[in-house]
């Protein structure tokens, strides 16, 4: 226990007497908000989407597939109310 107290006192004195540490601490306190750099991973490259002629909900197998077709293919017949949600009565409820 005495060793811990001695180490604490020595550390406190060293910090108080060291001008380099004081200037560093002052700089840190004066600028607490540092700009953080966020690095994001690149998006994976996927194969281009191919429109294969299917246009109707009865030809789709899932909501995700219907959304893909609606977003990427012209002339789709899957969104009667034009709310960007295809196949609402079959797949995307």
Contacts (Cβ under 8 Å, ≥6 apart) of 54: 60, 69
Backbone CA torsion sign across 59, 62, 66, 72:
negative
pLDDT tens digits, one per residue of 40-81: 777 776 667 789 999 999 999 999 999 999 999 988 999 989
pLDDT for position 31: 66
């Amino acid at each position: 226990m005495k060793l811990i107290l001695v180490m604490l006192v020595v550390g406190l004195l060293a910090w108080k007497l060291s001008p380099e540490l004081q200037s560093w601490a002052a700089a840190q306190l004066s600028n607490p908000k540092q700009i953080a750099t966020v690095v994001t991973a690149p998006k994976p490259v996927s194969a281009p989407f191919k429109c294969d002629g299917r246009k109707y909900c009865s030809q789709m197998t899932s909501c995700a597939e219907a959304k893909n077709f609606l977003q990427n293919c012209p002339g789709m017949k899957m969104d009667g109310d034009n709310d960007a949600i295809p196949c609402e009565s079959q797949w995307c409820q």
